[in-house]
Chain A
Amino acid sequence: MILKVLNVGKSFNGLIVLEDVSFELETGTITSLFGENGSGKTTLFHIISGFLPPSRGKIYFKGESIYDKPATEIDKLGIGRTWQFPRVFKNLSVLDNLLLASKKHPGEHVLNYLVNPFKIWQEEKKRKEKAVRISYDVGLSDKLEEAAGRLSFGQQKLLSIGMLLINEAELLLLDEPFAGLNVIMVDAISKLLLQLKEEGKTILMIEHDRKKAKAISDKVLYLTKGIIREDVGVA
């Protein structure tokens, strides 16, 4: 088990959004999270990824409590997320977007260049090679030098998934990965998600297109009135 959410609740000024949410995710599986608009799906993502603190409950990632950890720390532990509208740097190239998402560059500190420029150069070269490899995985290898703002909406979604992969996230929280995309793009993302599952990544995705999501999911969670119900073995 990679993620355990136990009796999580969230309310805003007395308005209860999440009543009592409990579920577990197994490593290397795809889980879809369905629910009406305003049912608290994105709030749940905010809580798991550390952008919002829960009002109560417990959350464990690989056995470690992440209940009160900030988003940047949770990100470092291996939980990455995308947003309903892709958050990419539109003025930067696809390659620069991927490089920025990869953490802990020795070249972040300018003084390191003066102390050991050769080592930094080698390290940066390795990271660039990795970014190029990931661009192949997400189907953007021919767009590496293109500004992200030139990509279509679907390609920007692929780029945001690539940005999670370069950061070696183990659990991917994807907010509506199929929304607003044409059939070809939906197929491309479905194929990528199945490939990531084969590689051992765990995926939890919010999706409104139940048919397409169910087709690739191992488990489906329904969030209704702040409570989770689950169906197993839908794929």
Chain B
Amino acid sequence: MYAQILFNGLVAGLLLALVAVGFNLIFNTTKVFHLAHGAMFVVGPYALLQFIDITSGIGLWAWGGSVLLVVFLAMLIERVVYQPLARKRSGQAISLISSIGVYLFIVNLISLVYGNETKYVDLPLGGSFSLLGITIIPVQLMQLAIALLLIIGVFILMRTKWFLKVRAITSNDTIASVLGINTEKIRLHTMVLGSIMAGIAGCLQLFDIGIDPHRGMSITLGAVAAVIIGGQTSVKGTIAASLVIAFLQTFTEWYISAHWKEGITFLLLIAVILWRTEGIVSFNIRLEER
């Protein structure tokens, strides 16, 4: 029983981590509380559905088309909404409201075109099997493998000079510009990368429990909780917090009720920020420098 819960929690945790790491990268470089991230989570699978229709199959073209659409949309949001606001030095409240506006527009558009019912894609991967007392669905293995690959990719990226620039902008974007770092380019990169991660996470959910236009907001709120709990600037902390949240949600679903899982997540969030406002992983700097 516990092994089953842990396995389900691991898969759900890695999917949440994809969304949360994407949110982390975007939030830290753009300083936008990017709730429209939830829209990217649903744009990916809906685009995939559309391209499956067009190409008559779930091949490389369908995946490529879906990713390209997410990239295009992410660039559009950054160039048309967030960057102009940043140039005008508008505050975080303004960018948050704009982000909610972008989210509602995209989700309403998807609802209008595709309807509100849940969509699935049934992959011909065979039925469930049992291993060490755990019932495993092949789709879960696929989710596990793709999510792990993407997270390993992020860890490799974290060792590059490009990521050092991301951290520099996170720390202080004005100094970064003074040092000749092209902050607008790096913002665009993280926006695209973070959105691809959310879009792929959405696609992976399409093969399992399915997707509807409104599914993005709850996972984005979970991702926000993971970013805050893990320490806002720490990617590793965000991944660890995503796993903890997913385990907690799976236990809650199993032993209490699925309705309680988000409530429990935010209880955890409140407990952590009361204990450590800056999250679990934080930098130890002088009091007067904070």
Contact = CB atoms under 8 A, between A and B. Distances in A.
Given A72-B180, A87-B178, A91-B171, A100 B160 contact: no
Interface residues of A, number: 28
Given A101-B179, A147-B284, A149-B283, A91 B170 contact: yes
B285 interface: yes
A149 B233 CA distance: 15
Contacts of B285: 90-91, 147-150
A87 B171 contact: no
B289 A92 contact: no
A109 B162 contact: yes
B157 A100 contact: no
B180 A76 contact: yes
A149 B170 contact: no
B24 to A, nearest CB: 14
A184 B15 CA distance: 54
Interface string B127-162: 000000000000000000000000000001100111
A86 to B, nearest CB: 10
Contacts of A176: none
B168 interface: yes
A139 interface: no
Interface string B175-209: 11011110000000000000000000000000000
A88 interface: yes
A137 interface: no
Contacts of B289: 90, 149
B283 A100 contact: no
Contacts of B164: 92, 96, 99-100
A103 B168 CA distance: 14
B215 interface: no
A90 B180 contact: no
Contact of A107 (B162, B179, B286): B162
**Residue among A87, A89, A113 having the largest count of chain B Cβ atoms under 10 Å:** A89
Contacts of B178: 71, 87
Contacts of A207: none
Contact of A89 (B157, B168, B290): B168
Interface centre among B172, B179, B283 (most CB of A within 10 A): B179
Contacts of B168: 89, 92, 96, 100
Contacts, number: 72
A107 B160 contact: yes
Interface in A13-35: none
Interface in A110-163: 110, 113, 124, 147-151, 163
Contacts of B286: 149-151
Nearest to B156: A113
B119 interface: no
A88 B179 CA distance: 10
B236 interface: no
Nearest to B181: A100
Interface of B: 156-157, 160-162, 164-165, 167-168, 170-172, 174-176, 178-181, 233, 283-286, 289-290
Given A87-B175, A90-B171, A105-B161, 20 more contacts: A72-B180, A87-B178, A89-B167, A89-B176, A91-B170, A96-B164, A96-B167, A100-B164, A100-B179, A107-B160, A107-B161, A108-B161, A110-B157, A147-B283, A147-B284, A148-B285, A149-B283, A149-B285, A151-B286, A163-B179
21 contacts: A71-B178, A72-B180, A87-B174, A87-B175, A87-B178, A89-B168, A89-B171, A89-B175, A90-B172, A90-B289, A96-B164, A100-B179, A108-B162, A110-B160, A110-B162, A124-B161, A147-B284, A147-B285, A149-B286, A150-B285, A163-B179
4 interchain residue pairs of minimum CB distance: A149-B285, A107-B161, A89-B171, A149-B289
